[in-house]
Amino acid sequence: MEKEGKYIYCIIGTNQERNFGPIGIGERSDEVLTIGYNDLSMVMSNHPMTKFVVNRENMLAHEKVIEEVMKEFDSVLPVRFGTIASDAEEIRNLLDRRYREFKDALRAMEHKIELGVKGIWKNMEIIFKEIVEENKEIKKLKEKIQKDESKKNIYAKIEVGKLVQKALGRKKEKEAEKIIDVLRKTSFDYKLNNTIGDGMFMNAAFLIDKGREKEFDNIMDDLSDEYKDRIKFMYAGPLPVFNFVNIVIYPEEWEK
């Protein structure tokens, strides 16, 4: 029989036992409960002590539990996905050893949320045309290719492709900076994450005070109107503050 462990979602500032319902990770619908030490608690659910499956379904379940906790607590510290303790005593010992660190982090994240904004160009044909017009070297090479029917044409096309990709990267950075300069005014901090594909030029997370969420919403509405013909914005939140706090508990810490 597989040994039961305690799967950890996040840390909150409370000494009261809580039950957030049967929303635990996995297919068993385990109750999500708290295990506390002094005025700190880890939010957890029972889970077999086996190698954890990293997939989209489990990652979303992990995040969903934290979002449920956020409905009741102003300050929530996400714990890295896939963290499992063997028992309640290990959790209490860890809360004891890292008590000051967790208390300081909770204080820093009090009344704060994360909002995610992705920017995607609507028409890449227009973007590539802009790149050609903005770069004399690319424009010159493209004109040369159109006139040249020799085998050298292939190498010239490869060279143009490389130049275009570099120019596209610079254009992404420049366009993202314009949007971020507007949004950062309401934020404590922001972080840029990797973009996917040619069309996505921005993938950013913003740390804001809960009281300014509406203000941020209004700015997003204004940006959507201003760039409606050029950019599609994907706006998500409030989210757990994964980009700004993600508590890591190393395996050797459980053994102490």
pLDDT tens-digit series, residues 78-88 = 999 989 998 99
pTM of the predicted model, to two decimals? 0.82
50: pLDDT confidence band, cut at 50, 70 and 90? confident
Higher pLDDT, 122 or 252: 122
Q: What is the pLDDT of residue 232?
A: 96
Tell me how crowded residue 11 is: count the other CB atoms within 10 A of its CB: 27
134: pLDDT confidence band, cut at 50, 70 and 90? confident
Rounded CA gap, 36 and 18, in Å?
10
Residue with tokens 């840029």: 192
Is 151 a residue whose pLDDT tops 70? no
Q: What is the pLDDT of residue 155?
A: 62
Q: What is the pLDDT of residue 106?
A: 93
Alpha carbon separation from 147 to 111, 140, 143 (Å, rounded):
62, 11, 7
**Domain residue limits, the chain:** 4-109+243-254, 114-239
Mean pLDDT score across all residues of the chain: 88
Phi, psi of 8 (to 5 degrees): -100, 135
53: pLDDT confidence band, cut at 50, 70 and 90? confident
Highest mean pLDDT among 7-11, 147-151, 161-165: 7-11
Q: What is the pLDDT of residue 28?
A: 85
Q: What is the pLDDT of residue 52?
A: 73
What is Dmax (Cα atoms) for the chain?
A: 78
Q: What is the pLDDT of residue 41?
A: 95
